[in-house]
């Protein structure tokens, strides 16, 4: 029978059990961070073992703990998920900071510090630290810097990091890199030039080459119809318009029913009509905005009852245009679209606002990024191979982290790596902190938390992490390079500033949540 049982009556004991779980997870994560970090092997009953790195990936594998420890791991796992959704990287950094801050806050509260005052000042000081990180960041990263960032994010795998950096370069500013698994053992890059969208043909009978399942249309007019085309009367005005213009036709619609499709096939085979028909891209609520993206790029209009337009009101100016269209089994590519440059720029800016506004659903954010890349840049797909399934999964996760790190560097600027930026941001914010009893406690909490990543990175390389963190605090803006065993310029060792910002915000939120716990309830 299931019941609720209060397992801890003393708040210090409740937090202590939770900190046991955070200490266990942070200890595992600490050994995997940095260039000298190692993998954690995750084994499950009746399943092959996996080699994992990265805070969130390790946290997902940690199961079967007793009540209080399980709660601590779950809280850090949820925090790492938020960081992953926000920036795609930095989950290890966030877990290490959160654990050390939670432990320092527990010590401060045990020494008699006023609970509400220290938590309030901690939250306020976090804003000062993230502001210091933003103020110290710089933009316009070079290609070499982005390559170094990708390699480090990929666990110092130069082949994966270099592959992602090359894909990002080909995608261009505003482009998108998509990582997928390959069916072969070799890596592959697929670059999609021109405006393209993934879709399926509505009829294989309209292909120019039935064996290769491709069609090439020259100077096509593009009909964008949100909904199905049901009858011959719907399609007849379009065919008459095409016949008068002596142009080819690309139809993008949800479906074309039997009578209308038969008319298209007969006219193609007997009358020489140059036509292709494909399904509208996207699903559900995404279909209309994706159709409108194509309309903006081609200078056409979407015909939809939702927009007050229909086939009966069609005029030549409502059809989109392009120099050529290549229709395949799963993709359509348009070259030489004639959409107005200012309209495309406005559409891109609107999508950027949608990306920034979408803070909860990573899938929606990724779809917005894909829409933007189609209009403003290019889409490059990386197919990651491997000799075994375990190796392939490992390399795919590394490539995803590398792509996310480059995207974060482009979007939020760069700061000194190796955790040095965190230490200096903490020192800059600490200078403005009022040094009363609560202020001194808050200062100790942040100093303990913000040095945790640097200490772990250096300890993994066999160095004195605390000594190097102390040197970084007094350095003139340089960063400690583990490989070179010395401090180097920030240009030589840079990290995305937005990753550190997200890690600090999330870690402080989780640490203060743990510090506010007074009882623990376990369902047994």
Instruction: Specify the CATH number for the domain of residue 270.
Output: 3.50.7.10
The verdict on 122 and 161 lying in the same domain is: no
Give the residue among 276, 288, 261, 290 at the shortest CA–CA distance from 220: 276
- Catalogue the E-assigned strands of 148-290: 176-181, 188-192, 195-198, 215-218, 221-229, 249-256, 275-279
Phi and psi at residue 250, to the nearest 5°: -115, 120
Give the residue among 87, 155, 154, 110 at the shortest CA–CA distance from 19: 110
Asked if pLDDT for residue 487 goes beyond 70, the answer is: yes
- The answer to whether residue 361 sits within a structural domain is no
The verdict on 160 and 243 lying in the same domain is: no
Task: Tell me the average pLDDT of the chain.
Answer: 86
H or E stretch including 26? helix 11-30
> Which one of 339, 357, 386 terminates a domain?
339
> Residue 195 contacts by C-beta under 8 Å, 6 or more apart in sequence?
294, 297, 298, 322, 333, 334, 335, 337, 374, 375
The verdict on 234 and 315 lying in the same domain is: yes
Q: What Cα–Cα distance (Å) separates residue 454 from each residue in 224, 467, 469, 488? A: 55, 10, 6, 15
The verdict on 214 and 323 lying in the same domain is: yes
Segment 49-90, tens digit of pLDDT = 778 888 998 999 888 787 788 889 999 999 999 998 888 888
Q: How far is CA 521 from the centre of its chain?
A: 35
Mean pLDDT, residues 288-296 taken together: 92
How many CB atoms are located within 10 Å of the residue 332 CB? 26
The verdict on 113 and 176 lying in the same domain is: no
Segment 357-376, tens digit of pLDDT = 876 667 788 888 888 888 87
- For residue 395, the enclosing domain spans 148-193+378-412
- The answer to whether residue 371 sits within a structural domain is no
Instruction: Specify the CATH number for the domain of residue 517.
Output: 1.10.560.10
Q: What is the 3-state secondary structure (H, E, C) of 324-376?
A: EEEECCCEEEEECCCCCHHHHHHHHHHHHHHHHHCCCCHHHHHHHHHHHHHHH
Instruction: Specify the CATH number for the domain of residue 157.
Output: 3.30.260.10
Asked if pLDDT for residue 390 goes beyond 90, the answer is: no
Burial 303-324 (b: 16+ CB within 10 A, else e): bbeeeebebeebeeebbbbbee
The verdict on 27 and 72 lying in the same domain is: yes
The verdict on 84 and 20 lying in the same domain is: yes
> Which one of 391, 412, 433 terminates a domain?
412
Q: What pTM does this model have?
A: 0.74
> Which one of 312, 339, 366 terminates a domain?
339
CB-based burial label for 193 (10 Å; 0-12, 13-18, 19+): exposed
Find tokens 């800059």 and name the residue: 428
- The answer to whether residue 70 sits within a structural domain is yes
The verdict on 398 and 430 lying in the same domain is: no
The verdict on 297 and 394 lying in the same domain is: no
The tokens for 101 are: 């801050």
- The answer to whether residue 92 sits within a structural domain is yes
Segment 153-194, tens digit of pLDDT = 888 888 999 999 999 888 877 778 888 888 888 888 888 767
Helix axes 497-515, 420-430, angle to 10 degrees: 60
The verdict on 286 and 256 lying in the same domain is: yes
The verdict on 19 and 35 lying in the same domain is: yes
Domain count, the chain: 3
Asked if residue 378 lies in contact with residue 192, where contact means CB atoms within 8 angstroms, the answer is yes
The verdict on 313 and 399 lying in the same domain is: no
């Amino acid at each position: 029978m299931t019941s609720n049982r209060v397992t801890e009556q003393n708040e210090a004991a409740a937090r202590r059990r939770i900190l046991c779980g955070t200490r266990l997870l942070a200890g595992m994560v600490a050994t995997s961070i940095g260039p000298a970090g190692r993998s954690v092997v995750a084994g499950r009953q009746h399943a092959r073992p996996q080699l994992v790195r990265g805070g969130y990936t390790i946290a997902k594998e940690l199961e079967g703990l007793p009540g209080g420890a399980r709660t601590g791991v779950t809280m850090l796992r949820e925090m790492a998920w938020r960081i992953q959704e926000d920036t795609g990287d930095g989950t290890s950094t966030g877990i290490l900071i959160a654990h050390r801050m939670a432990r320092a806050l527990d010590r401060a509260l045990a020494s008699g510090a006023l609970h509400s005052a220290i938590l309030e000042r901690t939250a306020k000081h976090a804003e000062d630290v993230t502001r210091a990180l933003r103020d110290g960041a710089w933009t316009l990263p070079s290609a070499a810097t982005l390559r170094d960032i990708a390699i480090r994010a990929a666990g110092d795998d130069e082949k994966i990091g270099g592959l992602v950096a090359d894909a990002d370069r080909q995608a261009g500013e505003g482009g998108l890199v998509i990582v997928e698994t390959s069916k072969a053992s070799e890596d592959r890059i697929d670059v999609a030039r021109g405006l393209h969208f993934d879709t399926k043909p509505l009829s294989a009978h309209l292909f120019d080459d039935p064996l290769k399942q491709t069609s090439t249309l020259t100077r096509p007019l593009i009909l964008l119809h949100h909904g199905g085309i049901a009858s011959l009367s719907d399609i007849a005005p379009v065919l008459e318009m095409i016949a008068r213009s002596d142009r080819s036709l690309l139809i993008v619609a949800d479906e074309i029913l039997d009578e209308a499709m038969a008319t298209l096939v007969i006219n193609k085979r007997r009358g020489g009509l140059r036509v292709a028909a494909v399904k509208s891209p996207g699903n559900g609520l995404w279909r209309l905005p994706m159709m409108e993206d194509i309309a903006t790029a081609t200078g056409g209009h979407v015909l939809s009852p939702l927009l007050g337009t229909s086939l009966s009101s069609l005029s030549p100016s409502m059809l989109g245009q392009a120099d050529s269209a290549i229709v395949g089994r799963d993709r359509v590519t348009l070259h030489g679209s004639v959409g107005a440059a200012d309209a495309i720029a406005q559409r891109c800016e609107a999508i950027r606002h949608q990306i920034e506004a979408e803070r909860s659903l990573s899938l929606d954010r990724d779809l917005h990024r894909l829409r933007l890349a189609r209009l403003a840049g290019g889409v490059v797909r990386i197919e990651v191979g491997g000799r075994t399934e375990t190796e392939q999964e490992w390399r795919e996760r590394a490539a995803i982290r590398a792509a996310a790190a480059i995207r974060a560097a482009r979007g939020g600027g760069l700061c000194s790596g190796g955790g040095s930026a965190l230490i200096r941001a903490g020192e800059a914010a600490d200078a403005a902190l009022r040094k009363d009893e609560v202020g001194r406690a808050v200062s100790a909490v942040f100093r303990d938390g913000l040095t945790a990543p640097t200490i772990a990175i250096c300890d993994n390389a066999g160095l004195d992490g605390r000594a190097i963190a102390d040197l970084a605090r007094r350095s003139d803006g340089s960063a400690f390079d583990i490989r070179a065993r010395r401090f180097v310029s920030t240009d030589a060792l840079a990290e995305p500033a937005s990753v550190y910002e997200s890690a600090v915000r999330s870690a402080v939120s989780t640490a203060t949540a743990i510090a506010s716990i007074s009882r623990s309830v376990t369902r047994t």
